[in-house]
Structure 1
């Protein structure tokens, strides 16, 4: 009888936890829908009447608390359309598809912008999700053209895709760890066309980055500068982290997500091992707070009196859910991702109707530049919804 009672209680606990997790997902998507409606209503008033370059997507709140929109060329322009696609995916409400199509269309011309490496962020988060959910052939064409544009930045001698074109007085050919996120677009282009060129470039970039971006403890440099004639590394430093040798939190999250994705696309065990090592560095770090929402840099000097970066937490959670499906440490990763989402939902969300429609508060864009510190950010919201959807799919299994 004692054994039966304990077993029954255990089953009841598991069932209750499952219901609790479903309730969490529902409550957060309900909030996301309310906030998206607020944002859609506020966007017209935030759009300048005579702007030379028309802004198309919300990015953050400016220092006065006003909604800040950005033009299509901004690296964050694809996140709001992507967020709308995720709302459609969860709710199946055609109104969200309509809004997603409207805001996705606003950035289509970026498919020809060879002056940026951020094609994946912009195009794959918007058109990529749109194509996945609708099979619209026009979206397929945009994805392919965007990949063709992106590989124009590939430097064969160095084996990398150039990141920035700015600060030419500082770097000859900089590659930032963020660029791992743009490789997903190239893998998609190979699937859609059968042309291995795109995937081969993505793999080479990931391999070169794995070789040159990581320290022995598996933390990542933010920026690595290359000589494009010889392929040699010129310097390793940071732009958004605390110091050249520090571990900028979102950079570590980009790396975790990027190598997890590369393993999914290639099944190359080297990428899985890399993702496992990055996860261990982050999750076991002595300066990771108890709630698992990182400070903006793991080496920031005034911890615990430093700003958090919720965007790093949402990227990490989304990556951990996917990594949990590949790794032997999957249960541990999933439990950590669950904890991140639980804490975000309890302590980091905006009150319904507030923050001009952003979902999450307390992200950090660039602390060294004193830019976007302790504010909502569109990409924090995007990866939050992605993490919730990934969690839902795992709950269903």
Structure 2
């Protein structure tokens, strides 16, 4: 515990970028780019967080290739997306905030119905949620995906982003290499945790070589994924230490859970089974209602729910700043994170409910979030992500229906 924690709302350096404060809007699926391109609606979504006082907002899950998509409507980081991305970054900058692009390849959770190709994994694998078969990725394809991350980062530079966030969590492709359950390779990308960390280290190094000192480079890393026999804190600490020693990252955002197994381990709180059933194909709805809670997992919410795990990483980092995520909704939570040795905090669902929450906390430290952690916002990602308790969003926007429901049919 630091006896003199930094002031939450004073300017702070993140690599080559200066943020106006230490609060980052965490990546949350937006559902506002139905054709894979930036829309006015997406710009307004992130501009609201900028106007609301965050230091930086994060554009969620920008694909490094079409084959790396996890859902319809995700932006692919290529030349076609550049004009819209430039409008987005310019608007956020006008609002006084920085902006980051989260870069990812879905790997085991890339649906064949969407991508047109069989999903890839470190080793042959069957997704326990979708029962989809994933083939083993080749070494040539590993090099290709590494190059795709670098090319996507260059697009981010060209578009005016201040940072990129490399998605090394939630058992997407880079994260799945870290899992001893999914990664059963016999080459130098499998076996020991040092070998299983090779892919994420190569991605981080290649991205840093590409962007140099022009923008910040962040990685989002699983501390544990909730899948028995998979990623846990002991090996995640080693991966973090290796990334830290490489010096390619400016910050590490710590997360938990996966997109493969019991997603409530990431979100915590109420399980919106009835709402999920309504967006599933009719034939699947009875099963969702019957076993949805067991499939999604029951994980009670508590404030700062990732802190106990995340504090293990503080003494490991020498060169890399740390971002605390999970159950941060008020000023006391922010101050606790900074006292514990974290450099930044990231907020997600609370800002969906109140995009101006940071400004309100800054002006009145006693401000309490209106987020109830009912998690019904999770279901809105099937259409247009929003807080269901916000009438302007719920009734003024596009209804959350079909895109992914049709994919699952």
Choose between structure 1 and 2: higher helix proportion: 1
Q: 1 or 2, which has the higher strand percentage?
A: 2
What's the TM-score, normalizing by structure 1? 0.29
